[in-house]
Structures are given as structure tokens and as C-alpha cells.
Amino acid sequence: MFNQMADARVTFRAGSLLALLAFAVLAVAPLVACSGSGDGDGDSDDGGGATDPVSVSVADIQVRESDGSAVFVLRLSAAAESDVTVDFATLDYTALEDNDFQPQSASATIAAGVLEHNIGVPLVDDAMGEATEQFSLVLTNVGGGIVADAEAVATISDDDPLEAVVTYDAAWGSSGVFAQAATCAVCHRASAVGDTPAVMRYPNADGEDISPARQWRHSMMAHAFDDPYTQAKIQDEITLFADIAGFIEDKCLSCHAPMGRTAAHHSGEGLTDTDCALDDGCYRYDEAVADMESREGVSCTLCHQVRELNLGSAESFSGGYDVAANGDADALTIYGPYQNPHPGGSSAMQTHSGYTPQFGNHVTTSGHCATCHTLYTPTVDVDSGDVTANLFLEQAVYLEWQNSAYAAGQPQEMRCQACHMLDPEPGGYDTRIALTPNGSVNANWPERTPFFTHTMAGGNSYMLRVMKDNRELLGIGTSTSAAEFDTKIAQTRELLQQAASVTLADVSAGSTRLDIDATVANRTGHKLPTSYPSRRVWLHLAVHDGSGAKIFESGAPSATGRLSSDAASLQRDCLLVDKPEGFASDACYESHHDIIDHPSQVQIYESVMHDSNGELSHVLLHAAGYLKDNRIPPQGFTAAAAANIESLTLPVGVEGDADFNSAAAQEGSGTDIVHYRVDTAGAAGPFTVRARLLYQTVRPSFVWAMRSDAGRVNRFKALYERTPPVPEVLAEATLDIP
């Protein structure tokens, strides 16, 4: 598991009564041998050869942080006739030296007859809740013996409480130009079950509540700030880059706490100059966690106040949306997709909330979403620590969509909202979009179509599960319910199951080998997977013979969502921020495959970041580009268009794969064919091939590469253990081969 060794020395020392007794036994033994045992000739039957050298081993241990120390027991295979020496050193892994244990290197000698020696490693017993963590003791340079087991792992469990978040209060009122979602929900809610005429219930008056007030509440948009992985990752980055910590938090919070951050910059209040590269100051996490407008995530009066200025252009990316401040001529204007927002001259919204509705079709465009779903981050040189001129494309959902068959102006045009804010019955569902404040229906208000449900389902069912399981800890126990999270998880899974397809074909030509082509088709309008680089999709394919025996399997996940290839990506060197000399990045991830002929090979569609030295990195602000990006492009994606839109969206590491994003020699298929070669010698058919396309939002290396010993980092690691990232099934296929 741990692949570095430090040079230290421990010695087992003589002088005990046990050593003297052992010496006496060893001294008598030769005399007994010389006396003979039956024939009286005194000859030895051992051939006169030298005795085997003793071996030294050390076993894994489990301890509690409160135990005070981790005690490793070094054992000899037999009593030695002379001193045995051994070098040892502790080596950190997920448990960090000085933070979780005190590093040790020492020297000692064990004399003849002593079989065991204890090595105690002091533990740091803090009050911080943490995940199960590990470090190792490594043995080298044994004198007077050999090493039987050179490394032992100490697993530390912890029972301290995890860092909790102050409870979110949905009744926070207003802040600057922003108001609580509860204000909007007074009117933009569904009619009571059975009431007629029904408002925002589907398919009838007794149907589901599809109002914005309900559908948004448990979405990832509503919980953009609450997301514990986001909180952990931000804390890890600011620990590494403390001199620009304010700048980092301000940038991240522009999309994860947009109302609080925007209100602070509008007013100049709640900002700090500490570790900040911005002229007017930075909005920090500690301020945001106390500001309920920040805790509400991406809410009604944020999205519906975004002006049309620069949408879809580079100026609007990376949180560059534009919201009018108090004092601006168009302040407190709510933009919506419907003409005539004042039916019959009504000003009900203005009277109730203080906001003025106005037609603004830009809220239905993909450019509106692009403000936060296209993100460039600066690259910090890994050696000098200087911020470079390079920008890293962290996510490019909008740019990927622009280079697809679904982009604006294309025959198959579909905007983001068509999938993520789905009309329950396109072209066939009309409804009023509000009630009066007392809950009655105003028959003079028109029914609207199309209707955009605010389900905002994406791909992150995993984080929804984590939040559901830890509502009180994350401060959302009073504002959410487990049942509604389950509904949102179901909506997310329904969307995921439309994201891709898998088909299988038998192209075998020989009698002792199956040749199977697995075609994966991307059915989305962006890459598969898209967004943050921790996400991955892979093929799990298994072949069974006529007796039902499994003769081949590639890509089977464990019960906790790990792949066999994760053993490589979780090597210590792969997780380190500063890579050792001679580090080989390609030993830390699975390369793209066109042909798979061994079970150890897995086709994983993912992006792998590299730093300014071209070495693998999990640190976002060290990221300078991609070592691998074989995520399947959307249908219609071409290299020529990518060069014009954004060359950084081009695939990386797929060279030589002629059918990647290509069918019948035509680029832009949005597909990939993986060619499996399965040896069937000794097996009898008929054969059954089963394939699953699996999806995971947070792969293990991205969690354990967070090296900061900090509350939110440790909390997410613990939650990751409690609720493991079991993958979602995107698509399945079965093929029977006679």
C-alpha cells in the first residue's frame, strides 16, 4: 500500500533473563544431537549445512486515537544465536505525521533468544472528528536475518464528533436585493390536493406537486453551499494556498453561495482584505456559514435577477453573472419566460414581495446556466508557488454543449432546461404558476405553457444520499426531509438512465476466443461524464459459460464502489501534493483502452489532471491541463469546432482509437466501441455476456488526496466511509452467444 521507505534504524538489545535462558537451551542442543538417537554413531542427519537465517516480520494493528500510542510488535521466526538489527521508519498515508501521529525512527539491537520487540508510535489525540486513517511502519536492512514482512499498517479509529454546521434558518428575510425562497413560495406553490382548478399539480388535481417551491428545495442547486464535498475541497485548497485563501473562497462562493457573496460585494459589508487579491475585498466561508442567504444556495431571486448582459460569453463564465444592485434602474426586477407578466394590469408580485416581474427569455437559455457551469481556474506553479498566466478548464458543460448536435441553431437543438427542468408533458400541459397569498386561485390569471419544473435533477445522486443521511450534522435537519431527498434521488436516477446506452455485438472469428464489441453511446448534450474531474463512468462486463461459471470479468466494483485499478491510484505517491523524484504519473491511473483482453483492464471514462510539471495532481489550483480526458463527447462534437470554441475541450489520451467519437469513419458519433477479447479455451457455450455502464461522482483518490488535517476535510472523509459512493447504473445490455 505504501511505496516509500525512509532510512532509520532500530536495534533489539540483549541482557534479559530470557536471553540467558535461550542461550542455555541453544548450548545444550548440540550436545543432545552428538549423543545419537538410535544407531549410536553420533552422525548428524542434517547434511552439515548452515541453519536458515531468522526472519523478521511485523503485523498490521488496529488502534483507537485515544489509546495514546500504536504499538507494533516485531517478531523473529526463531531465536537467533547472535544479534539481529533492523531499520524501521513510520510513513504517513491517510493518517498524517505530526497531525495524527508522531513520526518515529530509532535504532536498537536484539540479542540471541529475544523473539519479540515492541515499537510504540505516539498518537495525537485531538478533539476533531475524523475518518478511519492509516499509516505504516516499514522495515529495511535487517542484519543477522531476513525480512519476512517488511510493512505493517496501523489503522486508527476515532470517536470524536464530526464538525457540525449551524442550523439553516429558512426565514431569513432579505439581504440587499435578495429575498428568502419562502417569500416566493407563498404564491408559487401548488394548490391543495383535489382543489380545482388545479395549480401546478400533475397529471390532475390529485397529482404530484410540481411547483418550484417544492421541487427546488431538495435539489443540488438549493444545497450548493451545503454540499460537504465542496466544503471539504475548498478547505483543502485554502490550507495549501493560505496566502490567497480569501480569493479562493470568494471565487468558489460566487456559485456556491451566490446571494450572500453578491450582496456583500454590492454593499461592501462582510468582506475582508485578508489573503485577498480583490480590490474590494473577499467574501469568506466563515461569513457565509453564518449568512442564511448564503446557506440557501442557488435560489429564486438569484437566478431570476440575472440580467442578459454577456450571457454565453467568456465574461459571464466562472461566476460572472450580472445582478442589479439597489439603486440601479432595474433593481428588484424578476425575469421570467412568459410574455405579459402583469395579466389584467395586476401587480400582485410587486405588492406582496417588492419585486417587479418582467419578460426575459434569457432565463431559458443555456447561456444562463453557463455562468457557473463553465469554470476556469488559475494555475499555481507547483515549484515556485506563483500564480501563472495559465487557466485550467475545470468544467466546460456549456462549451461541450456548444459543440454538439443539440446546440443553438442545430436541427436537434435542446437547451439545458429541456432535460434538467423538464416540462412534464411538452406542449400538452398548461397551468397557472401562482396562487394568491391566501392559497386561492385567481381565475383571471392565465395558464402558462411551457411549464418548467424546477426539479433541477443532475447526476449527483451520491451527494443527495450523503446529505439525506447527515441532515442534522449539515445543519439542514429542520428545512429538509429524508422522504423528499428520496424523491430527488429518484428523479436524478431517472435522468441518469437516459444519459447513455450500451449495445453488445458478437464479432468472433475463432473457436477459442470470443470477440465482443461493446458500444457506449452518449445521449446527453455534454461529455459523459461532465463537470468536476472527480467523476467517472466505466464499463463492467462479465462473461459466463454454459454452466453458469464466470470465465471473464472486467470493471466489477466492490461493495464500496472501488475498482481493482483504484489500488494503483491510491498509492501514497499518487496522493502526495509534492511528488517524489522519479514519480511516474501513468502508474496512478488506467489508460484509455481500445482493446481489452485481460480482466485487470477496465475502460474508465474520466479526466485526470496534471500540474505545471506535467505530473498527476488532485489539487485544483495546481491543475494545468489533463493527462487523460477520454470522456465521451456529445453527438456532433468535432475537433474542428472545438478548435474554434475551446481547444481545451479536445479529448486527451485516445490516440489510435479509430472508433472513439467516430462511426463509419464519420466524426461526431458521440460513441465509443470497446473491443473485448475473451479466451474461452476449456469452456463450453452457450455464453452469456452482460454489460453495465456505471457512474460515480467522487472517485476514491479525490477524497484521500485531500491532505489537510482540517474539520471539513475530515468530516467528508468520514461521511465518505459511512455512505460509500456505490455507482449508479446508466445502462445495461445482455448478449447470448451460442
Do 483 and 585 reside in the same domain of the chain?
A: no
Is 0.85 topped by the overall pTM?
yes
Q: pLDDT class for 34, splitting at 50, 70, 90?
A: very low
24, burial (CB in 10 Å: exposed 0-12, middle 13-18, buried 19+): exposed
Instruction: Average the pLDDT over each of 105-109, 135-139, 228-232 and give the range with the smallest value.
Output: 105-109
Q: How many domains does the chain have?
A: 3
535/557 Cα distance (integer angstroms): 15
Single out the residue of 82, 72, 73, 86 nearest to residue 14, CA to CA: 82
Do 73 and 105 reside in the same domain of the chain?
A: yes
Quick one: what percent of the chain has pLDDT higher than 90? 87
Looking at the domain assignment, is residue 166 inside a domain? Answer: no
Flag whether pLDDT at 117 surpasses 50.
yes
Looking at the domain assignment, is residue 162 inside a domain? Answer: no
Flag whether pLDDT at 40 surpasses 80.
no
∠ CA(398), CA(486), CA(724), 5° rounding? 80
∠ CA(160), CA(161), CA(163), 5° rounding? 125
Flag whether pLDDT at 723 surpasses 50.
yes
Looking at the domain assignment, is residue 273 inside a domain? Answer: yes
Single out the residue of 674, 709, 707 nearest to residue 691, CA to CA: 674
Report the helix count and the strand count for the chain, using DSSP H and E: 20, 30
Flag whether pLDDT at 8 surpasses 80.
no
Single out the residue of 90, 82, 159, 84 nearest to residue 116, CA to CA: 84
Residue 463 one-letter amino acid: M
Residue 344: the pLDDT is 66
Average pLDDT over residues 505-524: 95
Do 229 and 275 reside in the same domain of the chain?
A: yes
Flag whether pLDDT at 401 surpasses 70.
yes
Flag whether pLDDT at 3 surpasses 60.
no
Residue 192 is classified by DSSP as P
Q: Do 689 and 541 touch, CB atoms closer than 8 A?
A: yes
Single out the residue of 475, 382, 441 nearest to residue 170, CA to CA: 475
Q: Is 247 left (phi over 0), alpha (psi -120 to 50) or beta?
A: alpha
For residue 150, the enclosing domain spans: 10-35+51-157
pLDDT tens per residue, range 662-712: 999 999 999 999 999 999 999 999 999 999 999 999 999 999 999 999 999
Looking at the domain assignment, is residue 322 inside a domain? Answer: yes
Looking at the domain assignment, is residue 394 inside a domain? Answer: yes
Which of 493, 511, 545 is the endpoint of a domain?
493
Do 387 and 277 reside in the same domain of the chain?
A: yes
Residue 46 one-letter amino acid: D
What residue ranges in 659-727 does DSSP mark as E strands? 662-663, 666-667, 671-679, 687-696
Residue 7: the pLDDT is 34
651, burial (CB in 10 Å: exposed 0-12, middle 13-18, buried 19+): buried
600, burial (CB in 10 Å: exposed 0-12, middle 13-18, buried 19+): exposed
Flag whether pLDDT at 19 surpasses 70.
no
478/292 Cα distance (integer angstroms): 14
What is the SS3 assignment for 168? Answer: coil
Do 179 and 150 reside in the same domain of the chain?
A: no
Residue 335: the pLDDT is 98
Residue 190: the pLDDT is 98
Non-local CB neighbours of 640 within 8 Å, separated by 6+ positions: none
Average pLDDT over residues 274-292: 98
Flag whether pLDDT at 602 surpasses 70.
yes
Which of 122, 157, 192 is the endpoint of a domain?
157
* Unique residue bearing C-alpha cell 468472433: 508
Non-local CB neighbours of 644 within 8 Å, separated by 6+ positions: none
Do 143 and 214 reside in the same domain of the chain?
A: no
Do 17 and 153 reside in the same domain of the chain?
A: yes
Residue 262 is classified by DSSP as H
pLDDT tens per residue, range 301-311: 999 999 999 99
* Unique residue bearing C-alpha cell 451460442: 738
Residue 511: the pLDDT is 82
Q: Is 345 left (phi over 0), alpha (psi -120 to 50) or beta?
A: left
CATH number at residue 122: 2.60.40.2030
Residue 321 is classified by DSSP as -
Looking at the domain assignment, is residue 66 inside a domain? Answer: yes
Residue 31: the pLDDT is 31
Non-local CB neighbours of 661 within 8 Å, separated by 6+ positions: 632, 633, 637, 651, 667, 668, 669, 670, 671, 672
Do 446 and 536 reside in the same domain of the chain?
A: no
Do 469 and 505 reside in the same domain of the chain?
A: no
Non-local CB neighbours of 236 within 8 Å, separated by 6+ positions: 619, 706, 707, 708, 710, 713
Residue 441: the pLDDT is 94
Do 186 and 303 reside in the same domain of the chain?
A: yes
Looking at the domain assignment, is residue 5 inside a domain? Answer: no
Single out the residue of 547, 707, 699 nearest to residue 619, CA to CA: 707
341/304 Cα distance (integer angstroms): 13
Single out the residue of 612, 127, 582, 633 nearest to residue 401, CA to CA: 633
Do 315 and 375 reside in the same domain of the chain?
A: yes
Q: pLDDT class for 28, splitting at 50, 70, 90?
A: very low
Average pLDDT over residues 267-296: 98
589/356 Cα distance (integer angstroms): 53
SS (H, E, C) 461-496: HHHHHHHHHCCCCCCCCCCCCHHHHHHHHHHHHHHH
Cell of 377: 481556474
Single out the residue of 169, 147, 141, 191 nearest to residue 9, CA to CA: 141
Single out the residue of 135, 28, 26, 27 nearest to residue 72, CA to CA: 135
Looking at the domain assignment, is residue 169 inside a domain? Answer: no
Q: Do 731 and 497 touch, CB atoms closer than 8 A?
A: yes
Which of 473, 493, 513 is the endpoint of a domain?
493
Do 466 and 515 reside in the same domain of the chain?
A: no
Average pLDDT over residues 454-477: 98
Q: Distance from CA of residue 85 to its chain's centroid?
A: 44
